[in-house]
Chains A and B, each alone.
Chain A
C-alpha cells in the first residue's frame, strides 16, 4: 500500500505536465484572438500597439517556442502573468483559493452530513412517504440550477426574512481579517475576533447550503442505494439473528460498508466544486476561483485559464489520493494488501 501510494505521488507531476500541455495546445488552437482583450478592440487596427503587445506577452513567437517557454516556467512554479490582472496567475490563484476552499469545505460538510442522514433515512423507510420526500429533495438539489436556488434562498432568507446576510464573505464595509489560513471563519477565531467570526460564518451559510444541496442529492442517493445493497447481505441477517438492535445494524454494520463507495464520489465532488462552483460564487459575489475562471474565459486570458485548469487537475489528483488513503484506512481488505 505504501509503495503504491509512493508511486501515485511520483506520477503526479507527470500527469500535471500532461494536463498543462493539453490545455496549452488547445488554447492556442482556438481561433479566438486574445489580443482583443489585451489591447482593446479599438487598438486592434494599430499595428504598433499590436506588435508591442505581442512582444510583451510573447505571442509573436512560434507556438512550439511559446510552449517550451511556458513549460520551462511551469517547472519553476511560474504559471505566467494574467492578461487582465497583469499579476502572476499563481498570486491571483493564491489570493482566491482560500475563499473557494472555505466555501467548498463548508458545502461538502453540509452535503455529506445531510446526504448520509437522508440516505440512511430513505433506506430504512424505503418505499414509504419518507423515502419519496427524500428522493424529491435530493432530485431538487441536484437538478435545480445553482443560480436559481441561489436567488431563491437569497430572496427568502436575506430579502424577505432578513435572517441571514446577503452576498459577500463579510459585510461590505467590514475589514478582512489578517490572512493566516485565508479561511475567514478560522482567521477571525485565531485573531480572537468573535464578532467577525459570527459574520463570516453567517455569510457562509447560504452559499454553502446552495452548493451543499447538490452534494446532498448525490450523496443521499448513493448512500441509499449502497445501504440497500448491504441490507441484503448475509452478515446483516446474521447480525439480526444475533439480536443486535436495528440501529446498531444500520449504523455500525451496514453504513460502514455503504460509505466506502461514497468516499470516492465525495472526493470527486470536492475537486469538481473547487473550480466548478462558478454560478454560486457569481450569485453570492464570492471572490473565489470560480469567479476568476469566468472572467478569465470571458477575456480569453490564456495564462489564467491554463492556471485554473492546472489547479483543477491538482485538486483531482490530490483529492483522489486522499480518497484512496481514507478508503484504505476504512477497508481492512485493502489496508493489509
Chain B
C-alpha cells in the first residue's frame, strides 16, 4: 500500500483510529480532538505539527489515559492492545515502560525536592520491581551518561535546580528511555530551550532512535525541526488531521492550504525577512468551530461550498489532504 507515503507491510506499533476527545467545560462540551487517525511503525518517526490549540498534546495524552474530565472515544492500539478504556492499572504498566512521553517544559517537569537519581530510579522500579536499589542506581548513572550528561555519577545526586534547562530535558529523556520503551512521544521537547541546545537535543533523539529502534512521535509547531528528524508528518488543525504524508512529499508538494501556510512561515535563508510571516486570522478553537471546513475562514482559496461540509482525508498528489476543493471529494455534513 502507498497510503501516506508508506510502502511497508509490517504492522504499526501504534494504531490510532478516529480518536475523539471532548472536554466537559462550564461553557459546554469542547471537542478538542475530532476523529484523528494515524499509525506509527516500529523504529519510525512521525511528526505531528500544527498551531497552538490544534489538539496535538490532547491527542497524545488521551492515548496514554492521562486526561481527566474528558470523554475519549475511538481506538488507540499499542501492539494490538486497545488503550482507550483499558483499566488504569494495565495502562500504567504500559506508560513509561512501552510508550513513554516527555514534555515541553523541562524546568517544571522534574520534582524540585527529589534528586535526579532518585527520580530516575523511581521510574525504573515502577516497572521493574525486582531491580535492586544499587542496580537501579548503576543503571541511572549509565542512562545519564547515555544522554550525554557529563560526570553522570555526580549528577545523579544533583537536584533539578542545579541543572540547566537542556540538562533537565536530557534527564527527562533518560527517564523516558529507562525502561526501554518502543515508542517515545516527545511533546515539543525543544520549544523551551536555546536554539543551540535545540539542535543537540534533536541529535540526541536521532541517536537514541537508531540505537534503540525507538519509534518517535514528535509533536511540534515548528516545521523546520521536522525536516531532518522524521519520516512522516501529520498536520493537525482544529482537532483533525488535515494533511498526512511522507516528509519528502509534504515538503515538495504540500496540498492543504494550511500546510502551505505553515511552510511559508518557515524562515528561509534565501529570503530576507522583515517580519516573520504567519497565517492570517485566528485559529479555530473547540468552542468556536466554523461550519464546514474549520480552516475556511482563514483560507485564501475558500469557496462558498467550503463552509457547507467538513472535508475528509483523500489522496492528493503524494499525500492525503482534507480539502474538498483540492481532492474533489465531498465532505461530511
Contact = CB atoms under 8 A, between A and B. Distances in A.
Contacts of B96: 241-244
A242 B100 contact: yes
A256 B123 contact: no
Interface residues of A, number: 23
Interface string B93-135: 1111100111101001111111100000011001100000000
Contacts of B176: 242
A244 to B, nearest CB: 5
Contact of A332 (B105, B127, B159): B159
Interface in A316-336: 330-333, 336
A233 interface: yes
Contacts of B92: 243-245
Contacts of B102: 238, 241
Interface residues of B, number: 32
Contacts of A238: 102-103, 109-110, 172, 175
A248 B159 contact: no
B64 A241 contact: yes
Contact of A333 (B94, B108, B112, B123): B112
A235 B97 contact: no
A257 interface: yes
A197 B291 CA distance: 79
Contacts of B66: 237, 240-241
Contacts of A248: 122, 126
Contacts of B162: 336
Interface in A211-240: 233-235, 237-240
Nearest to A257: B113
Contacts of B108: 233-235
A302 B301 CA distance: 91
Given A234-B103, A235-B108, A238-B103, A245 B126 contact: yes
B114 A243 contact: no
A235 B110 contact: yes
A240 B95 CA distance: 8
B210 interface: no
Contacts of B97: 243
Interface in A241-276: 241-245, 248, 252-253, 256-257, 260
A243 B111 contact: no
Contacts of B127: 243
A242 B126 contact: yes
Contacts of B111: 235, 239, 253, 256-257
B161 interface: yes
A330 B126 contact: no
A257 B110 CA distance: 12
Contacts of B175: 238, 242
A235 B109 CA distance: 4
Interface string B51-95: 000000000000010100000000000000000000000001111
Interface in B152-166: 159, 161-162
A73 B122 CA distance: 58
A237 B65 CA distance: 11
12 contacts: A233-B108, A238-B172, A239-B122, A241-B64, A242-B176, A243-B93, A243-B95, A244-B92, A248-B122, A256-B114, A331-B112, A332-B113
Interface of B: 64, 66, 92-97, 100-103, 105, 108-115, 122-123, 126-127, 159, 161-162, 172, 175-176, 179
Closest 4 CB pairs of A and B: A243-B96, A242-B96, A243-B95, A234-B108
